[in-house]
Amino acid sequence: MVRFAAAHADNILDRDVRVAISAAPLASALLEFSTQSGLKVAAADSDVARLQASPVKGTYPVHEALTLLLNGTGLSFSPVGAETIAIHGAAMGPAIEPGGSNQEDTDAPLFPDVTTMTPRLATEQELAGDSVRQFIAHHATLHYFNTGVSGNVAHWPGGKQSVCPAAFGLSPAYNGFVTARIRALAAKVGAPLSSDPKCRPNVRIYFSTDPNQLMTNVVKWASVYFRPRGEFATMKPFLQVTGDHAVQGWYLTIPRRAAVLNSDLGLLPLNLHPLWPRVVQKSSTDNGDVGSIGSVVMIIDTAKVVGYAIGTVADYVGVLSLSFVQSPDHCDPLPSILDIMAPSCAAREHPTGVTAGDLAFLKALYYRNTGIGPSPSTDDMQYDMLRQLKRE
């Protein structure tokens, strides 16, 4: 069944249209729908190729007409601007609404299965040249103290350090979906994941209509938590929110192979690295050693993600949380979920969920991750990613 973002009274999806479309190849049927309805319809060739449209005849609201037309295709749709409708892949759940209004679950929002992650295959063009190596360079941060030829890639170390995500700021159902989606992504790629769903969160995803006020509370907490150890003075300049990005984040890193539990991070020396603009250019450490990921905080400005499906946002922050991302706004030839908020990717089709490149990258990052051995090198990751992507 086709699912779409909840429509408002003035939404183009609620307009009545009269259509008479016969069963036909979907690309032709969508062109006919556009002609008869007076609306622009945008669809990627890769999404509609080889699919057939169902016949539709009569007067319907736009959303009902499209639901009938796309029946059985597995495709979804959403409004883009005042007169355009985008046709895209499997729905990623209800959209985030203005003002962070997803506080009530009275509409019983439909969420996708959190464990289903089947992105389209990477094309030969996307894998050409050194595209995979570029992808790694912009999606990973190295342990600079271990230079060698390729360096080691920072990640969750495993052992006693496991991922425990939790989302806050939306309704219980939306928070629960984001949390479950990140857990499912971690499990799929082999990242160390806490088996206890009630574990103490070390990946905190905050949705807020007022990120500045939220960070004021975070700074107050940090001033108490870190001051006794003398770390707050160096961290404070980096605990700031700017209005430049919809999603802002901070990585707290720990020494590699730290032999403490998640709940004992307070016993370790911690370094703070903000996500923007590049983690290696701004950090609270002087020696360039990013260590391993010990905790992650992401803040999402709900005013800037209005219209994005909740599943898309969950995948975006999930990828950011599982890898110490180097340059999330870089547009690489190999697509990534991070492209959706990269200005340089605006001209091309955006993914709605994790991509084949994202999954191959994270699987390569956590391949044979035991918590006691070295993290993978960029050479190892490139070999593994190419093996995965070309086998698919």
Measured distance CA(29)–CA(23) in Å, rounded? 8
Residue 273 bridge partners (DSSP): 251
**Does 60 or 197 have the greater pLDDT score?**
60
What is the CA 251 to chain-centroid distance, rounded?
A: 16
The pLDDT confidence band at residue 339, using thresholds 50, 70 and 90, is very high
Measured distance CA(90)–CA(74) in Å, rounded? 6
Poorest-confidence range of 108-122, 135-149, 189-203, 279-293? Answer: 279-293
Q: What residue type is 18 in one-letter code?
A: R
Measured distance CA(161)–CA(180) in Å, rounded? 19
Is the pLDDT confidence value at 132 over 60?
yes
In the sheet with 84-88, reading across from the earlier edge strand, the strands are 40-43, 84-88, 76-80
Q: pLDDT, tens digit, for every residue of 245-275?
A: 899 888 888 766 555 555 555 555 667 778 8
Is the pLDDT confidence value at 10 over 80?
no
Q: Which residues contact 220 (CB under 8 A, 6 or more apart)?
A: none
Residue 256's SS3 state is coil
CA distances in angstroms from 76 to 67, 80, 92, 93, 94, listed in the order given: 8, 13, 9, 10, 11
**Does 313 or 71 have the greater pLDDT score?**
313
Q: What are the backbone dihedrals phi and psi of residue 44, each rounded to the nearest 5 degrees, phi first?
A: -80, 140
Rounded mean pLDDT of the chain?
80
Measured distance CA(227)–CA(195) in Å, rounded? 32
What is the CA 380 to chain-centroid distance, rounded?
A: 24
The pLDDT confidence band at residue 283, using thresholds 50, 70 and 90, is low
What is the token pair recorded at 93?
A: 């759940």
CATH class of 12-91: alpha beta
Q: Do residues 162 and 201 lie in contact, with contact meaning Cβ atoms separated by under 8 Å?
A: no
Is the pLDDT confidence value at 371 over 70?
no
**Total-model pTM:** 0.74
Alpha helices in the chain (DSSP H): 26-37, 45-48, 62-69, 131-139, 172-189, 211-226, 232-235, 310-322, 356-365, 378-391
Q: What are the backbone dihedrals phi and psi of residue 128, each rounded to the nearest 5 degrees, phi first?
A: -70, 155
| Closest to 178 (Cα-Cα) out of 297, 315, 38 | 315
Poorest-confidence range of 123-137, 145-159, 172-186, 226-240? Answer: 145-159
Show me where the domains of the chain are located. Answer: 12-91, 131-391
Poorest-confidence range of 65-74, 122-131, 199-208, 285-294? Answer: 285-294
Poorest-confidence range of 5-14, 121-130, 311-320, 363-372? Answer: 5-14
DSSP string, 287-354: S----EEEEEEEEEEGGGSTTSBHHHHHHHHHHHHHS--S-TT---SS--GGGGG-GGGTTSPPPSS-
What is the token pair recorded at 104?
A: 């009530």
CA distances in angstroms from 18 to 36, 87, 382, listed in the order given: 7, 19, 52
